[in-house]
Amino acid sequence: MSRSETTVIVVGAGPAGASLAYLLASRGIPVTLLERHHDFSREFRGEVLLPSGFEALREMGLHNIVTTIPHVVPTAFELYANGRPVFQVPFNADTFGSSPLTALSQPAFLKAIIERTRTLPHFRVELGVTVNELLRADGHVTGVALRGPSGDQTLHSDLVVGADGRNSIVRRACNLQAHKHGIDFDIVWFKTPLPEYIGDQAPFRAYFGRRHLLIAYPSADGFLQTAWIIHKGTYGELRRRGISEWIEEMAHHVTPDLATHLRAHKGSLTNPFLLSTVSDRVTHWSAPGALVIGDAAHTMSPVGAQGINIALRDVVVAANHLVPVLRQPRASQRIAAATEAIEHERTPELALMQRFQSIPPRLVMGHTVWAAAFRTMIPRLLQFEMVRRRAAATALPTFLFGHGDVRLQV
């Protein structure tokens, strides 16, 4: 078994892990990035970049990557209730400023970040490796034991950062307990060819009604991405009925143009799968010698497309606290203080965002009298401009721009 050392080990080369590795290495901190996959040519879900995430990339100096990879800038948001149009809002500078909502190719995005980071002398990346356990000494995490193409090895560090998603090995090995926030539901997730009705537009559509919610938008790879949000545990029955029947079920909840498109392509869905959603947050983000960020610290509901954006904001805050202490020798106590400060600074935004995310599913899919009344009245009320403005002013700024000022200070 071979042994090597670095200052920071980042487990997981998703948006949080790759961008944190870039920031640390670009500030002279030796960092090793570990990823269990051999490449990034696989299906990702968090591919919508909001102004909050775009601004975090701008702070890191990585925002120009977006224009060099496949991406789509939606032209408008269209809301439908029970298959009927409620309103359409153009995506323009008045709403988004200089950071438009962007559907990007996450595989291309991650590859571009890592290729840029490879040019830095303090960076090393290992793909196709699996972290089996964390190393410990005197109650502190001191590195990882991993298996890769060259066999078993140990890698020692001053800090291990878990950016390895909702099933994080770092989170589990450190016994970081999480509490759920909001309700669980399932998402039927698939792609079809772009429908003819889109033309040269790129609308972001949302359909709700009869306790269903469906979202469809053009993806960066030239397909129509569809997410059908259903009640937890109901997918088994749909699958037993066959694709034709659940496509027909979806068709009953959307406009005729999308319904015709879904029926025409029911035999050629691309990458269909069931995503079991959860919204949770660890009660503590760190243990001695270890830290979790991104989905490893807080699994976000897909409502409001917050996952990648919140993760990028985590990275900026983490770099602000970690870089100064990691530049100093024998910094274990200062590292512990820094990881606690990261949690303290990030928790208010996470708590607020997860609270906001929990509201739409309860209203759109809930069984209560209040939820039923909402589904009946809201389509009528949203036809009035004043109501739309008031509703947008309540939560939209938080969803788009985040809560609190996140600026890179190192």
Map out the domains of the chain as residue ranges: 2-42+105-180+279-360, 185-276
Q: Hey, what's the torsion of the CAs at 401, 201, 271, 310, to 10 degrees?
A: 0
Q: Higher confidence at residue 136 or residue 85?
A: 136
Q: Model's pTM, two decimal places?
A: 0.91
Residue 276 has pLDDT above 80, yes or no: no
Contact 222, 195 (CB under 8 A): no
Contact 162, 292 (CB under 8 A): yes
Choosing among 3.90.550.10, 3.50.50.60, 3.30.930.10, 3.40.50.150, the CATH entry for 2-42+105-180+279-360 is 3.50.50.60
Question: Which tens digit of pLDDT belongs to each residue from 10-53?
Answer: 999 999 999 999 999 999 999 999 999 988 876 556 588 999 99
With vertex at residue 237, the alpha carbon angle to CA 234 and CA 239, rounded to the nearest 5 degrees, is 105
Mean pLDDT of the residues in the chain:
86
Nearest in space to 353 (alpha carbons), one of 52, 100, 89, 105: 52
Question: Which tens digit of pLDDT belongs to each residue from 326-370?
Answer: 998 767 789 999 999 999 999 999 998 888 887 777 777 666 777
Are β-strands 159-162 and 185-193 bridged in parallel, bridged antiparallel, or unpaired?
Answer: unpaired
Give how far Cα 187 sits from Cα of 81, 213, 230, 235, 282, Å: 19, 10, 6, 9, 23
Residue 318 has pLDDT above 70, yes or no: yes
